[in-house]
Amino acid sequence: MPDFDAIVLGCGPGGNTAAYRLAAAGANVLMLERERLPRHKVCGGGLSRKTLRELPFPVTPVVEREVAGAYIAYRGSRPIYCSEPGIGAMVQRSTFDAFMTRKATEAGAALWEGCSFQGYESRDGVVSVQTDRGTATARVLVGADGVHSLVRKQLYPDARPMVVPAIEALLVPAAGVLEQIGENCIFDLGIIPAGYAWVFPKADHLNIGLYRFAKRRDNLAMKALLEGFIERYRILRGHREAKVKSFVIPVRPVAASLAHGNVVLVGDAAGVGEAFYGEGIYYAVRSGNLAADAILANLQGHAPLSGYDRAMRGLRRDLFFSRLTARLFYLSPRLGFRFGVRTKRVSDLFAGVIAGTVRPGRCLLTFLLLAPHWLVARKTAAVQSPLFD
C-alpha cells in the first residue's frame, strides 16, 4: 500500500494547483519543495485575466496591484494606450507561490520543504520517490519542478526542451515614479530584436525585463540591452537599487506524451509556456488543473492517466499557434507595431488572447485574413504621457 495517492514535486503554480485540487477532493497528497517558502522566483509576476479565472481560488491577499491598462511603444516613442480595467493583476512569485502552497496544505496536503529530490522508481503501479529526507511512495508522481525538471530528465532523458531567453531586474525607482505609472504596464517592442521589454509595477518596486523569441542565449548581450532600456526611459533612470537575473522560458511541450506510466508533467517541467508573450503562469495552472482531473479519474478507477494527454490537446494547439504567431510577428517588431499594434482590430485580437476570449489559432488566422485591412486602416493615435518624456 503506497504512502500517498499522489506526490507533487515543486511548489510553483502548476504543482500547487494540482496539489490543491487533489487534496480538496480527498486525495492523500505529499508536496515536495527543494527550498524553504517563501523563496524568490524569477518571473514578471503578471496574472492575466484568464489566469485569474483558471486559478482554483481567489488570490486577492497577495495581489500587489490591479492592472487597468497598458502603454505599448516602439523604442520609447509613439506609445498607444489600451484601457481595460480588471485586465490582470501583479504579484510577486515569492508570496504568490507560498500563498498557493498554504491553500494546498489547508486543503489537506502534506508538505516537505527544504527537501531535495534524488530520483524515482516505478514498479507495479507504485512510484517510489527518493529524497534526502527518505523515501515516499505514491500511486502517481506529478513533476512540477520547473524548466530544468529532474523528473522530466529521468522520464525523457533524450528530450531537449525548446527554451527562449529572458532577463529581469527589480528596481526601486526614484520618488514619485510608482505613482506616475499607477495601475498601468508598459510594453516596448523596439528595445530587443524579436521580442519586447516590459515594466510591471509592484507595491514598492518595478519589475522590468526583456523577452526574446530566439533559441540563442547570450546573457551578456541581454544585460547590455537591459541597461540600454533603463537609460532610454527617464522613469527607470536614477533607480536606487537593481537586482538582475537571467532565465529561460520553455515554449514547446517536451514530449508527445506528458503522462507516461504513473508520472505526469505540468507547467514548465512539461514545456508548456507560451511563445508570443512568454506567458507561463496561466499554462502552468491550466495544466495543473487538467492533471488533477486526470489523476482523480485514475484514482477512482474510471480512466487511465493518458486522459491527461487527451485533455491537453487544446492547450498544445494553442501553444503551436502562439509559436507560429511569434515567428511571424517578431520577424519585424517595427512593422508589427506600425501595422498590428496601431490597428485597433488587430490589437483587440492580441488583447483577446491575453484575456482568454480569443484562441491563438483564431487570432493568427484573423490577423492574416485582415492583412488588406491593417495595411491601409487608420492607425491609433499616439498618446502624450510623462512616462515617455
Provide the CATH number for the domain around residue 33. Answer: 3.50.50.60
How many Cα atoms sit within 13 Å of 181 on the Cβ side? 29
Determine contact, residues 45/207, Cβ cutoff 8 Å: yes
Domains of the chain: total:
3
Confidence of residue 28 (pLDDT cuts 50, 70, 90): very high
218, 250, 282 — which closes off a domain?
250
pLDDT at 173 over 80: yes
The residue-averaged pLDDT of 97-107 equals 99
Confidence of residue 373 (pLDDT cuts 50, 70, 90): confident
Q: Are residues 104 and 233 in the same domain?
A: no
Q: Are residues 231 and 273 in the same domain?
A: no
250, 268, 301 — which closes off a domain?
250
Read out DSSP for 65-134?
EEEEEEEEEETTEEEEEEEEEEEEEE--HHHHHHHHHHHHHHTT-EEEES--EEEEEEETTEEEEEETTE
163: left (phi over 0), alpha (psi -120 to 50) or beta: beta
pLDDT at 371 over 90: no
pLDDT at 77 over 80: yes
Confidence of residue 270 (pLDDT cuts 50, 70, 90): very high
Predicted local confidence at residue 86, as pLDDT: 77
**Which residue, 196, 147, 179, is CA-closest to 326?**
196
Instruction: Give domain status of residue 56, yes or no.
Output: no
C-alpha 182/C-alpha 241 separation (Å) is 20
Q: Are residues 133 and 157 in the same domain?
A: yes
Among the residue ranges 103-112, 243-252, 342-351, the one predicted with the least confidence is: 342-351
pLDDT at 14 over 80: yes
Predicted local confidence at residue 243, as pLDDT: 85
C-alpha 290/C-alpha 198 separation (Å) is 30
pLDDT at 194 over 90: yes
Confidence of residue 96 (pLDDT cuts 50, 70, 90): very high
Amino acid (one-letter) located at 389 = D
Q: Are residues 100 and 145 in the same domain?
A: yes
C-alpha 294/C-alpha 300 separation (Å) is 10
pTM to 2 decimals? 0.96
Tell me the percentage of the chain whose pLDDT exceeds 90: 83
Q: Are residues 368 and 351 in the same domain?
A: yes
C-alpha 171/C-alpha 192 separation (Å) is 19
C-alpha 65/C-alpha 182 separation (Å) is 9
250, 280, 298 — which closes off a domain?
250
How many Cα atoms sit within 13 Å of 336 on the Cβ side? 23
Confidence of residue 386 (pLDDT cuts 50, 70, 90): confident
Q: Are residues 236 and 366 in the same domain?
A: no
C-alpha 49/C-alpha 37 separation (Å) is 26
The residue-averaged pLDDT of 223-233 equals 94
Confidence of residue 42 (pLDDT cuts 50, 70, 90): very high
pLDDT at 295 over 80: yes
The residue-averaged pLDDT of 80-94 equals 91
Confidence of residue 51 (pLDDT cuts 50, 70, 90): very high
Instruction: Give domain status of residue 365, yes or no.
Output: yes
DSSP annotation of 305? T
Q: Which runs of E-coded beta strand occur in 253-297? A: 259-260, 263-265
Q: Are residues 148 and 137 in the same domain?
A: yes
Tell me the percentage of the chain whose pLDDT exceeds 70: 100
Q: Are residues 232 and 288 in the same domain?
A: no
Range of the domain at 214: 64-91+162-250
pLDDT at 79 over 90: yes
